[in-house]
Structure 1
Amino acid sequence: MPLHSNARLFVWFRILFNCRFYYPVFTILFLDLGLSIGEFAALNVVWALTSVVLEVPSGALADRFGRRPLVVAAGVLMVLEMTMLCLMQPGHHDLVLWLFVINRVLSGAAEACASGADEALAYDSLPEAERSTLWPQIMARLSRGMALGFVVSSIVGSVLYDAHSVAGALQFLGLDVAVAKTTTMKLPLLLCLGTAVICLMVTLRMTEARTPAPKAPMLQSMREAWASILHTGGWIWRTKAAFALIVFGLVFDSVIRLFLTVASNFYRLVGIEEGWYGVIGTAVSLLGLVTAGLMEKSTRVMNVRQNFLWLGLAVFGGLMAAAHPMAGWAGIAMVMPLFLSMRFLQFFLSHYLNEIVDSEQRATALSFRGLTINLAYGTLTLLFGWQTAWVGGRLHLSADDPRVFAESLKLWPWWFAGTLILAGGWMLLRVFQPAKRIVLNN
């Protein structure tokens, strides 16, 4: 399948932007640097709020003045955010905390700039008559690339983070060198800084797919951008198919992403050692390779309602398994649906939303998707911080105690089921309103 250069570069950008070497140890990185689980939750709220504030304005700017500048800005911000992580000094709590605050702000800004703009740039670069056919193929290719990227980043990141693994590897090479934990903690971060630089270079090779709007005075540009935001927001509200995709997307994404964020804590809970975290990431990625073709096929043989129905059942089952975990590898196997469901969710949201949105407002509409998803994720992260504090108080334990985390997980499947039912009820009320019904049949 011949691809426009923007589409190929989009795949590489997403892989480099998302496959980060510290992800397998994300939660324990915060904790090992001296932060509490409450501070971890608060920092993720900072990330989400930054992304929420900048998400839609960045999409509106991308639609009006060009998508490429926003994607390049995301690459620059990624380099800066990784630089902040590399400056971390274990044992200096206040310095670590403020560097993390800066990192979370830069990371949220990078996410906001990339969200919508990169996808819109790639999608609009395709021949208009072939977009509905080519885009699922590109997303399937991206899924395979992301799977391979996570294989590499998961194995390398978790092995380098573990001082014993690094020492063992050095001894195998005939080097009897003692390596401190404070040194190995930074190795995944330094690798991420290198991939951030490569990611920036990829964005600089992209070309604008549409003719940007002519330059205008700053005040006029701000008014036009705001008008574009209001217009697109109104279209989403009136278009029941788009509104349903965004609402169900935030319900699914928030709880899945929160579990993925604290996955390393779950590994510890079921008794898996740090050196094996990369193996888990590898297994998930290999399953992603197998299921990439199923994503494309599912959009051909099933409609949107059927796809979200089976996905909801898979997520609920995975959350139930996390709420009542089995020890060791059996516990990991039972939550695999949660890892795979995020890949399917992102594929479905991209495919179905791009099909119904107009090119002129594509980046803004996709940014609304990112806005709501990040807002929901930030809210749920904050609720998780409060939940652990409440559970810890009820059990007379520290909020960082593994037993508190285990008890907190028991509520998650019922939270997901409840919010999913509320979202479905809201959609039904909108369907039976007098306004013209708009149905998504794909």
Structure 2
Amino acid sequence: MEFDYSPRVRELQARLLRFMDDHIYPSEKAYEHEIATNRRNGNVWVPVKVIEELKPKARDAGLWNLFLPRSPRAPQGLSNLEYAPLCEIMGRVPWSPEVFNCSAPDTGNMETIERYGTEAQKDEWLEPLLAGKIRSAFLMTEPAVASSDATNIECSIRRDGRHYVINGRKWWSSGANDPRCKVYVLMGKTNLEAGRHEQQSMILVPSDAPGITVMRHLPVFGYDDAPHGHAEVDLKDVRVPVESILLGEGRGFEIAQGRLGPGRIHHCMRSIGVAERALELMCKRLQSRVAFGKPISSQSVWHERIAEARCTIDQARLMVLKAAYMMDTVGNKVARKEIAMIKVIVPSMTLQVIDWAIQAHGGGGVSDEFPLAKLWAGQRTLRLADGPDEVHRNAIAKMELAMHAGRPDANVAMPITRGS
């Protein structure tokens, strides 16, 4: 197994690290100040100037749309394995992926449209998304049902002549608060009489279509995540042309399996970067503080925690790289167990490292003086987003049992769930 990155990836790594040092880290305070100012002025749902000013620089540096593999519309796109170390670097600052047009949910939505959309759909929606001119949201989770089982989804997509009529309520629709959000990728039911996994379809819905109401934003542990945010969206008799359907009626689960695999691994890649950032902040803090007459970093309890953090971060990274390699070589379906495993392992590992870093910072760790509290909130959300731990563990166990029962090819589908 090859553990070294290609010359191209190493060069991109170096270029991205320089960009982070030159532009992203120095802009963190300015970003927070701008968000706070917008909040005081009564409108936090506006694009952040700090990010918008950095986007042209990222594009000029050749650090744009790196996530999308095998697309003629984004020839610079990398394989999952190539993208992993770059996504990790971006993940060290939660808002930085947008600077490179590599942020969720746009990445998953762009990959969905690229893989399953018609050329007309790509012209209308993929091109402006790739150019960073618009943003998007993914509407799957619903407030009235347990969306950890996506067959529970109740949103109706009914054919009416040359249109589909959509009725339903969605929530945790990440990005729907952003005024630049122009298209929803929505999952609903087109045929209640079909098989359990053939009832669902995915459809592209303009966010300004009549009948759509963004009801409210949903904060996470008190954070509004503006201007991105998470929203509850009501759709009442929303009409879209039949050409808006993705791949065809009854193909929703098939599309979701293709979409959520890359989405999950991107989350895990970014989370490795979060864990690295937390470990770095922890070590610096411990070396800068004295308690009971000696540096806190000399206390053996912190040696244990630092060593454990380093071991678990590196273990998790290797698991992520293995999953990325398998997705590139044998496909998402064959790699479904590896994808499920990293989705369980990585957020919990990152939460533990952040928790130790918070402890090392004392009272400052739970304040807004450092990024740790907000990083913790984001990572805790990932134990629910794109499927709760319990669902992934269940799928892993079923695949393992099937293998030891002499059924290595047992069709245990990747869970189609989404929490945010």
Greater share of residues in helix? 1
State the TM-score bracket (shorter-chain normalisation). Answer: 0.3 to 0.5
The higher-RCO structure (CA 8 Å, 6+ apart) is 1
TM-score (norm 1): 0.32
TM-score (norm 2): 0.33
